Chains A and B, each alone.
Chain A
Amino acid sequence: MSEQNGHAHTIVGPGVYVAILFALLAGTVLTVWASFVDLGFWNPIIALAIATTKATLVLLYFMHVKYSTKLTKLAIAGGVFLFLTLVSMTLADYISRAWGSW
């Protein structure tokens, strides 16, 4: 590659992609298996934890966030933070609204 392509542009190779593919497939098997086990309160938490792990792998490697500019990383982190704030404040409101009256 010439300088035209820029020195900062990292090309992620097939090896990484294959590894992530298998990690994602393993995560899928694991989360389906976990859903068959009765863990009560923990079932949704484990399912969401595995989903978040899979999503993070997709973000970092398939979507190249690990190799992207600081500006992009900051924007994504800011967006996710804002989203989580909105969701948790909304849920906190709905869950606590009828507190004690059930």
Chain B
Amino acid sequence: MPNNQAIVPAASEPAGAGHNEHPSYLLHHFQSVEQQADTSNFAMWLFLLTEMMFFGGLFTAYLIYRNWYYLAFVAGSHQLNVVWGTLNTVVLICSSFTMAMGVWCAETRRRSGLVLCLILTFILGLGFLGIKTIEYSEKIEKHHVPGFHYNLSSFLDPASDPEIFKEYHDKPLPLDIARHTELYFSLYFLMTGMHALHMIIGIGILGFMIFRARAGAYISGHVTFVENFGLYWHFIDIVWIYLFALLYLISRH
């Protein structure tokens, strides 16, 4: 790129000669743009590692309780709809793709491409939350949300829940085992809820980025913000990939 980012007036010095000639986004405590980018990239990764430990704790709790109350967890997971889960996985993978393309557009200085990718990511993110809302409302209708109104009838008498029964033919569970389905749903709502919270935060930041990108931000060669946000978004995608496997898929038999 030509030296149109010089902070000194073009007439005072020949292009490229000034010792203080550097992009306006290079902070003074960094030696180079590359060092600055590597540093913030590394910091973002440290944050994501703490996030991994946070979600990892939830996953570990889930695995321990699933091991202890296996029958209840199997019966609980039969209440989840694999079609919605698969659709949401596809939506989230596509949103990760559009986000990755957004990073590429920023790197190659394509403003309209960047805005389009960010908007698509935003819409797909909202689509994910919409599908999650449908799933949550099914649980609310059936009183499968842990709490005072939790209803055990789907597990004590599976035939009373014909939609699930015709697919899985679950046997009735004794009361002490059926009670532990509430634990399954506690973890289900905790894990998918924390995931959805991350999505909501991400969508909020995406809205801010769309606003800024339309005004021409992120295409000056300084793509750190878009890149680091992309890392966050892909991390959420990875969390969902495991949630989908553990909550929806592994207890179908």
Contacts and interface: CB of A to CB of B under 8 A. Distances in A.
Q: Do A and B bind each other?
A: yes
Interface string B227-246: 10011001101100110111
Contacts of A91: 60, 63-64, 67
Nearest to B34: A6
B250 A35 contact: yes
Contact of A17 (B34, B86, B104): B104
Interface string B36-63: 0110011001100100110010011001
A100 interface: no
A58 B234 contact: yes
B49 A79 contact: yes
B contact patch SS: helix
A contact patch SS: helix
B97 interface: yes
Nearest to B64: A94
Interface string A54-67: 11001101111000
A15 B42 CA distance: 26
A26 to B, nearest CB: 11
Given A17-B101, A17-B104, A32-B249, A58 B33 contact: no
B201 interface: no
B49 A9 contact: no
Contacts of A11: 104, 107-108
Given A69-B38, A95-B67, A83 B52 contact: yes
A62 B230 contact: yes
B45 A87 contact: no
B49 A76 contact: yes
Interface in A1-48: 1-2, 4-9, 11-14, 17-18, 20-21, 24-25, 28, 31-32, 34-36, 38-40, 43-44, 47-48
24 contacts: A4-B5, A5-B33, A5-B221, A6-B33, A7-B34, A9-B34, A17-B97, A20-B97, A25-B90, A28-B90, A35-B249, A36-B252, A47-B246, A47-B250, A58-B238, A59-B234, A71-B38, A71-B42, A75-B46, A79-B53, A86-B56, A87-B56, A87-B59, A91-B64
Interface of B: 1, 5, 22-23, 32-34, 37-38, 41-42, 45-46, 49, 52-53, 56, 59-60, 63-64, 67-68, 82, 86, 89-90, 93-94, 96-97, 99-101, 104, 107-108, 221, 227, 230-231, 234-235, 237-238, 241-242, 244-246, 248-250, 252-253
